[in-house]
Amino acid sequence: MSYFLQYWQGWLWPLIVLAASVVAALIIHKFLFMAGRRLSTRTGNVINSSLVRHGEGPTRWIFPLLAIMLALPALPVRSEWIDALRRVVALGVIAAIAWTVVLLVNVLGDMLYARHRVDISDNLTARRIRTQISVLQRIFTIVVIVIAIGFMLMTFPPIRQLGTSLLASAGLAGLVVGVAMRPTLTNLLAGLQIALTEPIRIDDVVIIDGEWGWIEEILTTYVVVRTWDLRRLIVPLSYFLEHIFQNWTRRTSDLLAYVYIYCDYSVPVDELRKEFRRLVESSPLWDRRVCNLQVSDASEHTLQIRALSSATDSSKAWDLRCLIRENLIRFLQQNYPESLPKTRGEIKGAWEQVAAGRAGAFAHANESQSGGG
């Protein structure tokens, strides 16, 4: 500090040069990305817009760091100060390069996203690719960060020498770290396995412990499931490899919509079948594949009637089930109310007493008439 205060005039010019280099780099960065935004807006190209969106952040650091590195040889200062500043800048460049690599992976993911739309009814291929890209992107990001930290530490000779001396105990240290981080490592490996084997995908309809919902996000160690009432379930990735769950969109998104209705034995099944077909054929929720109504069971009190139809996805299947159930019940109420479930009973002992009483009264009346005659 005393050296700096004593020779502050000698430091003034290097500081001006460095500040001017940083300002010039930021100005160049601003104009480049301003032009890039205009070009992406005018052309509508996915790659251009993705590069501008993801690249503006890391390059805002890379440009000034490169400008400082180019200006360092021309500074009239002591070599040890130049070496320290060069090392700091090198650390920043390594971090910025790692950020840029992650940026390129994100740009590649955006390109693949744009080629596979998910806003269609049968989007199995698009959901599969998006799931793989999402999981692999996060795993690749972690790998890049670890490698970048390793390179940054390697720039310090004492740490590099320390690492050489500790190489013999690396196996034991790795074992200790592996045991301590077993849940995290398990979920990371589960994420890689899910990306390759695809038991779940983004937007899959699943049932987990009785909760029905959609796969909203697949992150590095857990999955976010959005339930039908907009709650979020946070489920570890390893759960989907170790437990049984239902996946309604594993192969295709189409489903069968079934409705059970219980009626009296007097129900006209043919008329009910005609009404069911009329309802299904007039509904836009039906995909025109399956339409069938059958008596599926008969108990001592009621008939069980199953109305079976099909839809392109789970949401339409649910709405179609509700539509069929409501309208078939209304049809029976309005046209065949006697076919609704009822409970029958026979009071046999009471009728016998009434009959016996009537017979006794009739006999007594006859005897009175005979005596009177």
User: Does 371 fall in a domain?
Assistant: no
Q: Are 170 and 101 in contact (CB under 8 A)?
A: no
Q: For residue range 263-301, list pLDDT tens digits in order.
A: 999 999 999 999 999 999 999 999 999 999 999 999 988
The sign of the dihedral angle between the CA atoms of 313, 316, 318, 324 is: negative
What pLDDT sits at residue 362? 53
Q: For residue range 38-88, list pLDDT tens digits in order.
A: 877 777 666 667 667 767 777 777 777 777 767 766 665 555 566 666 777
User: Does 236 fall in a domain?
Assistant: no
How far is Cα of residue 43 from the mean position of the Cα atoms in its chain?
Answer: 31
Instruction: Give the whole-angstrom CA distance, residue 31 versus residue 84.
Output: 31
Which among 59, 90, 115 is the end of a domain? Answer: 115
Instruction: Give the whole-angstrom CA distance, residue 215 versus residue 203.
Output: 5
Instruction: Give the whole-angstrom CA distance, residue 121 versus residue 317.
Output: 13
User: Does 191 fall in a domain?
Assistant: no
Going by the DSSP 8-state scheme, the letter that residue 358 receives in this structure is: H
User: Does 284 fall in a domain?
Assistant: yes
User: Does 82 fall in a domain?
Assistant: yes
What pLDDT sits at residue 170? 46
Instruction: Give the whole-angstrom CA distance, residue 265 versus residue 344.
Output: 12
What pLDDT sits at residue 225? 93
Nearest 5°: phi and psi at 336? -135, 65
Which segments of the chain does DSSP mark as H helices, in order?
2-6, 8-43, 46-71, 79-115, 124-154, 157-165, 170-180, 182-197, 239-242, 269-281, 314-335, 348-372
Q: Are 339 and 330 in contact (CB under 8 A)?
A: no
More confident residue, 180 or 342: 342
Residue 99 has pLDDT above 70, yes or no: yes
User: Does 71 fall in a domain?
Assistant: yes
Encoded tokens for 343:
């409970």
Q: Which residue has the tokens 């390179």?
A: 151
Residue 334 has pLDDT above 90, yes or no: yes
- The one-letter code for the residue type at 331 is F
- The one-letter code for the residue type at 218 is I
Instruction: Give the whole-angstrom CA distance, residue 234 versus residue 240.
Output: 12
Distances (CA, A) of 219 to 132, 189, 336: 11, 12, 55
Which among 115, 147, 178 is the end of a domain? Answer: 115
Which among 84, 115, 146 is the end of a domain? Answer: 115
Angle at 126 between CA 120 and CA 127, to 5 degrees: 95
User: Does 173 fall in a domain?
Assistant: no
Q: For residue range 226-252, list pLDDT tens digits in order.
A: 998 899 999 988 888 888 999 988 877
Instruction: Give the whole-angstrom CA distance, residue 373 versus residue 367.
Output: 10
Going by the DSSP 8-state scheme, the letter that residue 337 receives in this structure is: G
| Total domains present in the chain | 2
Question: Which 3 state secondary structure label does DSSP give 265?
Answer: coil
Residue 372 has pLDDT above 80, yes or no: no
Instruction: Give the whole-angstrom CA distance, residue 30 versus residue 235.
Output: 42
Q: What is the CATH number of the domain that holds 307?
A: 3.30.70.100
Cβ atoms within 10 Å, residue 317: 23
- Domain holding 19, by residue range, is 2-115
Residue 129 has pLDDT above 60, yes or no: yes
User: Does 63 fall in a domain?
Assistant: yes
Q: Are 145 and 96 in contact (CB under 8 A)?
A: no
pTM assigned to the model: 0.52
What pLDDT sits at residue 281? 93
